[in-house]
């Protein structure tokens, strides 16, 4: 079968740069990379671009395109969220349910199952952010809906664990036991610690029990102190814990981001998340969450009392922020949006780089880092 090819003046494969190279793909899978001057005679060149990189992976996306997942979980809602973020280079995302009722949680899992069957472009699973969190670190989550994890909650997640490429849940040790975390991890559910006021020691203990991530580093968690390092300290000091970071300049100060990036123990890394709400790709000036008004002003989303309520940023803007404002090399900024989140969910056998055998998910940018096109499974889903 004839391979398709995209030629790039600069191509980043997830590890290194290539000049005047092409990525070849067939049936939605990358087959090889080779110099543009050495393309097979029967290869079909479908695009020539300035810069080609692995498609972005966003593990925390509450909404987009005017849709908030909590407002009505469905295949249509998931599809609209994925399409909204594809405009900004995201080729794989986890629609995220903010703490809600048991009925909405169940409906979300069922909608996710239907989205898998419908093969929604960009949908790679779900993120259940709560309801098993700490009221003390609730953030914008409704405290009336936060509760301990009971056996029916555990059983529901275990029943759906094998239905998605990734099922991720954020829990706090205050409302989820080590045994529950171990059961979820053993079943393939990615467990992230977040919205927690717990100690460094407990957070590290939960990492040993199967938790592998920390949700939106610094936000809604016990801070780093000189005698009690808290969840922040555990995230930075424990080399097994990956950590998501909202890089909008509001959730975390630039200096704090820079310090954290320098301090993070490996091999686990810090990766970018948007924590985006329904405003992405729209001119909405606000929306409601669990019956409460969220205001959109000057790049911030807040409750009436000023509490941040998700973020108003896309993944390409996040990449540009850590590259231009923090000064990270472009290749590292790109890794934070693709390779590192893929590693965090154990998906590097499918995505996160431009390598033979991986899914043909690409983002094409101009030299000025403006959007050119987004490709999912070898198909153009957005062109500027």
Q: What is the pLDDT along the chain (384 residues), one digit of tens a residue?
A: 679 999 999 999 999 999 999 999 999 999 999 999 999 999 999 999 999 999 999 999 999 999 999 999 999 999 999 999 999 999 999 999 999 999 999 999 999 999 999 999 999 999 999 999 999 999 889 999 999 999 999 999 999 999 999 999 999 999 999 999 999 999 999 999 999 999 999 999 999 999 999 999 999 999 999 999 999 999 999 999 999 999 999 999 999 999 999 999 999 999 999 999 988 888 888 888 878 898 998 888 888 888 888 888 999 999 999 999 999 999 999 999 999 999 999 999 999 999 999 999 999 999 999 999 999 999 999 999
Q: Is 113 exposed, middle or buried (0-12, 13-18, 19+ CB in 10 A)?
A: middle
Q: How many CB atoms within 10 Å of residue 382?
A: 21
Q: Of the listed 13, 275, 312, 314, which one is catalytic?
A: 275
Q: Do domains 4-54+353-383 and 56-344 have the same CATH topology?
A: no
Angle of helix 230-237 relative to helix 200-208, nearest 10 degrees?
Answer: 50
Report d(CA 173, CA 133) in Å as an integer.
8
Residue 29, φ and ψ in degrees, nearest 5: -125, 140
From residue 181, how far is each of 129, 154, 196, 200, 221 by CA, in Å? 14, 9, 15, 17, 18
Domain ranges of the chain: 4-54+353-383, 56-344
What superfamily does domain 4-54+353-383 belong to in CATH?
A: Urease, subunit C, domain 1 (2.30.40.10)
Verify whether residue 370 is a known catalytic residue. no
Contact between residue 164 and residue 78 where contact means Cβ atoms under 8 Å apart: no
Report d(CA 232, CA 342) in Å as an integer.
22
CATH code linked to domain 56-344: 3.20.20.140
């Amino acid at each position: 079968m004839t391979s398709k090819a995209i030629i790039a003046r600069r191509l980043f494969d997830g590890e290194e740069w290539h000049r005047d190279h092409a990525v070849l793909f067939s049936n939605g899978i990358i087959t090889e990379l080779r110099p543009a001057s050495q393309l097979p005679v029967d290869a079909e060149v479908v695009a020539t671009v300035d810069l080609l990189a692995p498609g972005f992976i966003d593990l925390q996306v509450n909404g987009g395109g005017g849709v908030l997942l909590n407002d009505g979980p469905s295949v249509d809602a998931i599809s609209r969220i994925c399409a909204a973020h594809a405009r900004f280079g995201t080729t794989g995302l986890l629609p995220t349910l903010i703490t809600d009722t048991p009925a909405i949680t169940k409906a979300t899992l069922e909608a996710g199952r239907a989205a898998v069957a419908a093969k929604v472009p960009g949908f790679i699973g779900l993120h259940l952010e709560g309801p098993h969190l700490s009221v003390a670190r609730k953030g914008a989550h409704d405290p009336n809906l936060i509760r301990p994890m009971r056996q029916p909650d555990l059983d529901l997640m275990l029943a759906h664990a094998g239905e998605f490429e990734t099922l991720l849940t954020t829990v706090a040790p205050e409302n989820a036991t080590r045994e529950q975390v171990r059961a979820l991890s053993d079943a393939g559910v990615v467990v992230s610690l977040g919205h927690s006021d717990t100690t460094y020691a407990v957070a590290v203990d939960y990492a040993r029990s199967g938790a592998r991530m920390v949700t939106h580093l610094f936000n809604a968690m016990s801070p780093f102190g000189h005698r009690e390092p808290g969840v922040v300290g555990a995230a930075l000091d424990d080399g097994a814990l990956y950590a998501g970071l909202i890089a909008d300049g509001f959730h975390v100060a630039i200096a704090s981001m820079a310090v954290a990036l320098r301090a993070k123990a490996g091999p686990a890394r810090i990766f970018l998340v948007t924590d985006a709400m329904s405003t992405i790709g729209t001119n909405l000036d606000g929306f409601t969450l669990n019956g409460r008004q969220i205001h959109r002003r000057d790049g911030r989303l807040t409750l009436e009392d000023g509490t941040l309520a998700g973020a108003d940023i896309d993944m390409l803007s996040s990449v540009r922020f850590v590259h231009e404002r923090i000064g990270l090399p472009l290749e590292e900024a790109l890794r934070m949006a693709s390779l590192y989140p893929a590693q965090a969910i154990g998906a590097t056998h499918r995505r996160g780089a431009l390598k033979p055998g991986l899914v043909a998910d690409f983002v094409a940018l101009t030299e000025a880092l403006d959007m050119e096109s987004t490709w999912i499974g070898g198909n153009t889903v957005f062109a500027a």
